[in-house]
Structure formats: C-alpha cells, structure tokens
Structure 1
Amino acid sequence: MIKFTLSALALLLASASVYAAPPAGQDALAGPQIKVDVGGRKLNLYCTGKGAPTVVFEADLGRAGWDWSAVLPEVGKRTRACVYDRGGMGSSDPIIRASTVANASKDLNFLLKNGHVDGPFVVVGTGYGAMIAQHFALRGRGNNVTGLVLVNAMHEDALPADRSARLDAALACLSAAEQGKKDPVCAYPATGINGEIGPALAAAQANQVLKPTYWRAHASELDSLETSANQLRTARKPFGDIKVIEVPQTEPAAIVAAVMQVLDK
C-alpha cells in the first residue's frame, strides 16, 4: 500500500489557495441530478468529464456526495468523475434496510450498472467511505476496480471510540427533526474536503439536517458500524493489481494529486 509522503503533501498543500472560492459547478451538487434505480429505490448520481478510468467518490459517514465539490471538477478535467448520495443522504431516496458497508457496496454496484457508468473504476473514499470503497473492490464486483484512494480511512479494527455517543446524538437529532425543531447542535458539520461553500450548497446542507430521513440513515450507519467492520474483515484479502494510495489529510489538493498519481499508473 502506497502512502503519500509528507514532503509531497507539503508541496501540495502550498497550492491549496486554488480552492479559496467555491468551485465552479458546485451548485449542481446541491440538488438532484440523475436518479438511478437500485432496486425499488433511487440514488442521486452526478458525473462530469470524459475518459477512462471512471473515478467514483464515496463520502464519509453520514455525509452526501456534495462533500467532493472541490475535488470533483479538478478530476473531471482529466477523466470521467462521479459522485452519488447513499440512501437517505443528499437527494437520494430514504433507506429501507440497515446502512451497512455490504449494503452500500451492493447499492454502488447497481448504481454504476443501471446508471450506465462504465469501468474500469478508481474509487476514492474518505473515512467510513473508504471502508465501502474497499469492500466494493474486494467482493467480486472489484474486477473493474484498478485503483483505490483512501483518505483518512476508517479501519475495521479501529472504529471511532465515540461511536456510541455519536449514535445517541444522531438519535436526538432525529427526534428533533421528527418534531420539526431546529437544533444548532444538529447542523451539518463542515469538512475541509469541499473547501468554500457557496449559498446554494449551504442551503442544501441546512435543509438536509431538517429531514428525519437523513438522521435515520445517519443513525443506521453508526448503529451498523460493528456489523460493517465484520463484513469488511470477512472480505479482506490482498488487493492484487489494484493500486492503493493512502492520503492521511482531507486537503482537496492532496486528494486530487493522489487520484492523478493512480491515473498515471
């Protein structure tokens, strides 16, 4: 597994000022684009750029595809790049089953197939999304996966120590949303991945946390973490010819550079 060197990372972070303003095309991520059926439900998909392999982005726990708004357009200049919202997130339909890594991996498989998104694929995942990316690459459907970029990855043997407290908080926010209450504690948390947020995306994020369907999905991912860890543990094996790069930081420039490194190989 290749790790991004600190010296290379420092050089990349020096160029991060390119993301000082909301990226062009960010507003497209604030609402629904293509709704793809994955078996009685539809997930929201958005792709930009042309070429192969296709780079697919997987967001962190409880987060939507718009988190990649600063990375997506840069990668889209080089090849086809796609983001999507897992069930209950962003503009996708609500969940109808437990939000586990295996279920997310299956949904991603159907999304790409039914959305006519052709491989080979480079999958980029951050945090919990890195677990989904690895499961997708390892469970048979990974025949078309040529590369993985794992950003600040969550590991199946090192789950967050505060997951129980986070679940309690998500359930409290679910209760508030069901009662139509606005609680500042339940605001959609910022992330360094998407850089600056424009008004359209800010409004979409503010609206997201008012929906009980979002908090049910968020709580389900937290509640299923142990199950998800076991699923990835069972699937774990050598990645073989799949090129893997780990990026310890969530800085957009570092992520873009890691993706380019995989594409160059």
Structure 2
Amino acid sequence: MNHFALSAAALLLTAAAAHAAPPVGQDALAGAQIKVDVGGRKLNMYCTGKGSPTVLFEADSGRAGWDWSAVLPEVAKRTRACVYDRAGMGASDPIMRASTVANASKDLNFLIKNAHLDAPFVVVGAGYGAMVAQHYALRSRGAVTGLVLVDAMHEDALPADRAASLEAALACLTAAEQGKTGAGCAYPATAINGEIGPRLAAAQAAQAARPTYWRARASELDSLETSASQMRAARKPFGDMPVAEVAHGEPAAIVAAVMEVLDKQK
C-alpha cells in the first residue's frame, strides 16, 4: 500500500473546519434524491459536480450519506462527487440480509452499475465505511484508482466497545418498535458534516425514530466479526494506487486528502 502523509498546510486547514452556517446544498441530502435498484431494493444516491474521476463517499457504521454534507460541495467544485445511503440508512430501503462488508460492497457495485456511473472512481470511506471502500476497491478490477480512509476501522483492530454498542442499538430498536424514544437513541453527531441546519436535524431525528434504522445499525455491529473475516480474505496490496489516511475527520482535512489523491490520478 502506497501511503502518503498530508502536508502541514493541509493539516492547518482543520482549524477552519467549523461552519458559521450549514454547508451549501445540505438540504438536498436530508431527503430522497435518486433511488437506484440494487436487486429488489433501492438505495438513495445524490451526485453533484462534473468531471472525472467520480468521488464516491462511504459513511461510517450506522450513518447515512448526509454525513458528508460539508465535504461534498467542496469536492464537487473540482469533479463529480456522489454520496449514497447503505440499506436501512437515510432514505434507502430497509435491509433484507445481514449488513456485512461484503454485502455492502456488492450493493455498491450494483449501485454504480445501475446508476450508470462511469469509472474511474476515488472512494472516500470513514470508519466502518473505510472497510467497505477497501473491499469494493479490491474487487473493482481497476475501477477504483484512489482511496481516502478517514478514521479507518481495521479488520484486525475492531472497536473494543462493539458488544456494548450492539446492546444499546438493540435497546433503541425495541424502543422504536414500541413508538418510544429511548435514552441515548439520537442519531450520533459527527465532526465530518460541520454545522447542521434545521432540515437535516429534522431528518436525523426522524431517522432515529425508525425501527428500520436501528435494525440496520444493529446488523452492522452484529456482523463485525464476519466483516473482519471477509476483509482478511479479500486483503491484498493496493500497489501504486494512491491511498491517503486521515486520522481525524474534520471536513477541511478530508477535502485536502481528496485533492491530493485527485492530483495523483494518471
């Protein structure tokens, strides 16, 4: 794997990550946009900007594409940029099978094919989404030409609190099924999306009230060991593909990493 460090100047940009107002275009991510069939289910996708390669964003575990609301418009100033919601997240259809890395990677493959997105792709993944991004890249037969991994989860270092997180998600699922609001059952905050406007805040609150969301979130957590095994089976060197790693998910640092990878495209 060809890792490279972010420049000192790029890291300094993280100090300006906070937004005085919600990012431009954030409201578009709060609801359904393009629903793409991936085999009996539809996943919600939103693309903006023009150019090649297309930058695809993969959210962390239990999270939707709207997490990239502060990063997406900045990348779209340079090239085509797309976010989507995994099954059960955001405006996508509920899960129909275990939420493993391999199943998410297959869904992403069908999404790209059926949405008629043209390669090459740079894939940006956060946390658990970084595993999905890598799994897809390893199976993409050269369609992925760059990766940006943000606070990446690794198959050999799964979160120590995953059992407690699963228990909490299942408790929230029970509460949602009963039409109740469980303690600690809000959609989790993240530094990646910067300031949250009222429409996105309302969408996140509605998400946290749906059993389908908690079922998908619990499935991702419950499937982590299986996902780790799938990653170990798929893992191989990325060769000379540019791979940037960002240790902290502030928007400016992520945008800088994406630009560095785009600069290294052949």
Q: CA deviation at 1:21?
A: 1.6
Summarize the Cα distance change of 1:5–1:52 in structure 2 as closer, same or farther, 3 Å threshold. closer
Give the corresponding residue for 1:227.
226
Q: CA deviation at 1:240?
A: 1.6
| Residue 216 (str. 1) matches residue 215 (str. 2) | yes
SS state at 1:147 partner: strand
Give the corresponding residue for 1:122.
122
TM-score if structure 2 supplies the norm length?
Answer: 0.96
| Residue 264 (str. 1) matches residue 253 (str. 2) | no
Give the corresponding residue for 1:64.
64
TM-score if structure 1 supplies the norm length?
Answer: 0.97
Give the corresponding residue for 2:22.
22
Give the corresponding residue for 1:102.
102
SS state at 1:35 partner: strand
Give the corresponding residue for 1:146.
145
Give the corresponding residue for 2:171.
172
Give the corresponding residue for 1:40.
40
What are the Cα deviations for residues 110-159 of structure 1, in whole angstroms up to 9, with x where unaligned?
001101111100000000000000000112x2411000000010000000
Give the corresponding residue for 2:191.
192
Give the corresponding residue for 1:81.
81
Q: Distance in 2 between matches of 1:3 and 1:162?
A: 30
Q: Any conservation in 1 of the 2:61–2:217 contact (CA below 8 Å)?
A: yes
What are the Cα deviations for residues 211-265 of structure 1, in whole angstroms up to 9, with x where unaligned?
0000010000000000000100110001023210101010000000000001111
Q: Hey, which bits of structure 1, 4+ residues long, moved more than 2 A?
A: 1-10, 14-17
Deviates more, 1:3-12 or 1:79-88: 3-12
Q: CA deviation at 1:20?
A: 2.8
Q: Any conservation in 1 of the 2:146–2:241 contact (CA below 8 Å)?
A: yes
Deviates more, 1:216-225 or 1:235-244: 235-244
Q: Any conservation in 2 of the 1:105–1:132 contact (CA below 8 Å)?
A: yes
Amino acid at match of 2:206: N
Amino acid at match of 2:8: S
Give the corresponding residue for 2:14.
13
Q: Distance in 2 between matches of 1:83 and 1:73?
A: 11
Q: Distance in 2 between matches of 1:190 and 1:20?
A: 17
Q: Distance in 2 between matches of 1:246 and 1:228?
A: 21
Q: Distance in 1 between matches of 2:190 and 2:253?
A: 14
Q: CA deviation at 1:3?
A: 4.1
SS state at 2:187 partner: coil
Deviates more, 1:180-189 or 1:229-238: 180-189
Higher-helix-fraction structure: 1
What are the Cα deviations for residues 65-88 of structure 1, in whole angstroms up to 9, with x where unaligned?
000000000000000000000000
Q: Distance in 1 between matches of 2:8 and 2:36?
A: 41
Q: Over the residues paired in the alignment, what is the CA RMSD in angstroms?
A: 1.1
Q: Distance in 1 between matches of 2:133 and 2:25?
A: 25
Q: Any conservation in 2 of the 1:4–1:248 contact (CA below 8 Å)?
A: no
Q: Distance in 2 between matches of 1:224 and 1:32?
A: 27
Q: CA deviation at 1:8?
A: 3.7
Q: Any conservation in 2 of the 1:68–1:83 contact (CA below 8 Å)?
A: yes
Structure 2, unpaired ranges of 5+: none
Q: Any conservation in 2 of the 1:3–1:247 contact (CA below 8 Å)?
A: no
Q: CA deviation at 1:10?
A: 3.5
Q: Distance in 1 between matches of 2:76 and 2:9?
A: 22
Q: Any conservation in 1 of the 2:42–2:92 contact (CA below 8 Å)?
A: yes
SS state at 2:192 partner: helix
Amino acid at match of 1:81: A
Q: CA deviation at 1:9?
A: 4.6
Amino acid at match of 2:211: P
Q: Any conservation in 1 of the 2:6–2:257 contact (CA below 8 Å)?
A: no
